[in-house]
Amino acid sequence: MKVAFIGLGVMGYPMAGHLVAAGYDVTVFNRTPARAAAWCEEFGGRSASTPAAAVAGAAVVAVCVGNDDDVREVLTGDGGVLQGIEPGALLVDHTTASAELARDMAARCEAKGVGFVDAPVSGGQAGAEGGALTIMCGGDEQAFQHAEPVLQAYARCVRRLGPAGSGQLAKMVNQICIAGVVQGLSEAMLFSEAAGLDTADVIEVISQGAAQSWQMENRYLTMLAGEYEHGFAVDWMRKDLGIVADESKRLGVSLPLAELVDSYYADVQQMGGGRWDTSSLFARLRHQQERS
């Protein structure tokens, strides 16, 4: 099966590689051609000079770019995916974007006889590299059934959650949870340090009980070491929490914790940590403690 992959960032690069390993005939496009050339050298496959050229003849097209504007550019711009994709093909958007964008792209695809699934992912760079992502999908059942076998190449969990836009809404739920968990873990670790405990020992113990979380198990040692180069960047988390804020306003839902943690990530950006991973909320607390 011919598959096209648009966007070879931190996530897309290994995801596209897993497709090759799974036996798919993969053509890629990246806005920085050198990145596409490096991917082809590592994995094989081909690169194309435009999204439209990349998707020619592809049964499935996957997109993984930065935000709503990037999606619109690669899909609907000059030389975009929708100029080259063929009727009967399927478009899967892995970008974390707005539900409104997903619904718009679904309608545009339907007009061209193309299936559409919004399929944002969770699991970070490590999940992408290990082929163990969680993928939250929105779209009609037929489109999802077409997409699922392909997505299994880099996923440990793939689930359809409703019509177009549902995947993006589920990803918003995911980011709300992560924001609260990381802030809670950071505060707990700061408290432990102030109390004179061996924080590594404490976390090792409590991670075996009700306090356990993915963030705790995978980030506490690097947080203690002041290392924040291990995953999803603060700049991207703020983008996602901005999407959450817009959607919560539309729904008439108050999210005080998510809003508060977003302001804390703004502080991290002011510290120069825009490219640090989301566990850097601990760096903010340590910095405040040192100044007090």
The DSSP secondary structure of 144-188, one letter per residue, reads HHHHHHHHGGGEEEEEE-SSTTHHHHHHHHHHHHHHHHHHHHHHH
Taking only the tens of pLDDT, the chain with its 292 residues reads 999 999 999 999 999 999 999 999 999 999 999 999 999 999 999 999 999 999 999 999 999 999 999 999 999 999 999 999 999 999 999 999 999 999 999 999 999 999 999 999 999 899 999 999 999 999 999 999 999 999 999 999 999 999 999 999 999 999 999 999 999 999 999 999 999 999 999 999 999 999 999 999 999 999 999 999 987 899 999 999 999 999 999 999 999 999 999 999 999 999 999 999 999 999 999 999 998 8
Pair 207, 138 in one domain: no
Pair 156, 183 in one domain: no
Type of residue at 93: D
> Using alpha carbons only, what angle is made at residue 235 by residues 243 and 75, rounded to the nearest 5 degrees?
60
pLDDT tens digits, residue range 80-90? 999 999 999 99
Pair 90, 201 in one domain: no
pTM for the model stands at: 0.95
Q: Classify strands 133-137 and 121-122 as parallel, antiparallel or unpaired.
A: antiparallel
Pair 262, 127 in one domain: no
Pair 111, 12 in one domain: yes
Pair 232, 107 in one domain: no
Q: Give me the CATH number covering residue 6.
A: 3.40.50.720
Q: Give me the CATH number covering residue 186.
A: 1.10.1040.10
Domain boundary among 163, 182, 207: 163
Pair 146, 7 in one domain: yes
- Does residue 171 carry a catalytic annotation? yes
Pair 6, 130 in one domain: yes
Type of residue at 231: G
Q: Residue 279 has what DSSP assignment?
A: G
Domain count, the chain: 2
Tokens representing 2 are 């011919």
CA separation (Å) from 87 to 30, 53, 74?
A: 23, 15, 18
- Note down the domain range covering 143: 2-163
Pair 32, 103 in one domain: yes
CA separation (Å) from 139 to 108, 114, 135, 175, 273?
A: 13, 12, 13, 21, 36
Q: Dihedral (C-alpha) 220, 15, 44, 4: value to the nearest 10 degrees? A: -160
Closest by CA position to 243, among listed 137, 163, 172, 170: 172
Tokens representing 232 are 């999803």
| pLDDT number for residue 185 | 98
Pair 29, 92 in one domain: yes
Pair 86, 198 in one domain: no
pLDDT tens digits, residue range 95-146? 999 999 999 999 999 999 999 999 999 998 999 999 999 999 999 999 999 9
Catalytic residue among 2, 112, 171, 249: 171
Whether the CB-CB separation of 4 and 28 falls below 8 Å is answered with yes
Size (the chain), residues: 292
Whether the CB-CB separation of 25 and 3 falls below 8 Å is answered with yes
